[in-house]
Amino acid sequence: MDRQTDNSPSFGHLRLVDCVVVIYCVLRILVWELPLFLVTCYLWRSESSAPFVSALPYFLVRKTNELLNPIALRWLTGSSSEYVNLVLTSRRYRPYRNNIYHALTRTDFKGFWVMQGSLQNLESPSSSDLTILYLHGGGYISSQPSHYLLFLLRLGEAILEQGTSVSIFALDYSLAPEHVFPAQLKEATAAYEYLINEEHILPEKILIAGDSAGGHLALSFLVALANEHSLLRKRLPKPGGLVLMSPWLSLHNELPSFKINAHKDVLPVISSLNSLYLEFLTPEPAIEWDAVLPSWVWVSAGTDELFFDGVKTWVDILEDRLGQERVTFVAGAEKVHVWQWLQTIIDERMKKEVLEREMGDRKGFGATAAVGRAIAKHYLEQTFPDPG
C-alpha cells in the first residue's frame, strides 16, 4: 500500500469562476464581515478576552463555509499534503511514520489505513480488538481523510492507552456535486463488506464512526443494511457499535438552536437542503431504530452548535425506545460543531505542543482522547467469539 494525499482532482485545481468567488469571499470578509464582527465583539465585550479569542476562528470558518461554493471550498482547504507531512515528521509520530496512513484503492471504494493494530507495528486488522470505519464530515461536498489524520491518530492513541488494540480505516468517499448521493452510501457499503469478507474482521469488532455529514452517512448505511428492500443490502450483519459526533440528522432547520446558535457555531445556517439525502429526525415512513442500530451507540453534540436541538431530540427518542443503557449522549457545554476534531485543526498552539511531545504524553486534545476512552471502555467489557 502506498501513501498518498491528493486523491481527487477537485482538490488543488481552481477554475476562473472559482477564483472570482474566492476573491469576492476574501474581500467581503475583510471589508464588511470582519469589521462588523469586531464592532459587535467590542459592544458586547467583557473583562476577559477569552470569548473573543475563541469566537474569531469560529467566525472565519463559518463565513468561509457560507460564502464559498464546493469547488472553491475544496481548493481553500486543499489536499493537506503539508499537514500530513507536518504530522508524520513530528517528534511524536516520526518514529512510526512507516506504519501510519497507508492508502488502499479498490474499484468500488478507496481510503486510508490510519493505523493497523498499533503504531509501533503493522498488524493484521483482524487481530485487533477493534476496527473503526471512519466517515468524515464536510457536508458531502468537501474534506477528506488527510484533514482528520491528527484527530484519528490521537483517537487511536487514547484507545491504545486503555489496553485495546485498534485499527482505523478512513473512507475517502466521492464528493458532491460531481458524485450524487447515494454514491457515497455504495462506497461505505463496499468498504464495510471488504472489512468483513476480505480482512476477515468480525462484525462485532467493527465500530462505525462519523461526524456531521459522516454521521448522516453512517446512519444511511445502517438503514440500508436493515432494509430488506434496499438495493444496497448484501446480507451483512450489523457492526458492534456506532459513534456519532454532531451528526447531521435532519433536512429542516426550524429548531431553536438554529437561531440561538447562528452566531456561535462554525456552521452557517443553510436555507435549503438537498432532498436526495435521508431524513432521520422526522422520517416518513418511521424508522425502526431497534432493528437499525447496533447494540451500543455513543452520540455527542455541542450546546453552541446549530444541530444541538435536533441531536438531543433524536437521542431522547432513542433512549425512550431502546433504553439508556444502549445509548450514551455527551452534551459539550459551550462547544461548537464537532469540537473534538476542530481543535486538532484550528488550535495551533495545542497542535504544536502535542506534535513536539513524545508518544505516551497524554496532554493535549482532551476532547478527542475522551471519545477514545469511551470507545475503549465499551469494547473492553465485551466478549467476542473465536473466529476460528
**The three cell numbers locating residue 123:** 498488524
For 49, half-sphere exposure in the C-beta direction (CA atoms, 13 angstrom radius) is 2
pLDDT at site 352: 93
Catalytic residues: 212
Task: Give me the residues paired with residue 297 across strands.
Answer: 242, 327
- Rounded CA separation 206/241 (Å): 7
Q: Per residue in 31-80, pLDDT tens?
A: 877 787 777 776 665 544 445 556 777 888 888 877 777 776 666 666 57
* Other Cβ atoms within 10 Å of 72 Cβ, number: 23
pLDDT at site 231: 58
pLDDT at site 8: 44
For the chain, residues with pLDDT lower than 70 are: 1-14, 18, 42-54, 72-79, 228-234, 271-275, 383-388
- Rounded CA separation 222/238 (Å): 7
pLDDT at site 1: 46
- Coil/strand/helix, residue 142: coil
Q: Per residue in 202-216, pLDDT tens?
A: 999 999 999 999 999
Backbone angles phi, psi at 173, to 5 degrees: -75, 160
How far from 218 is each of 21, 80, 271, CA to CA, in Å?
32, 24, 24
pLDDT at site 2: 55
* Other Cβ atoms within 10 Å of 185 Cβ, number: 19
- In this structure, which amino acid lies at residue 154? R
pLDDT at site 169: 98
pLDDT at site 314: 97
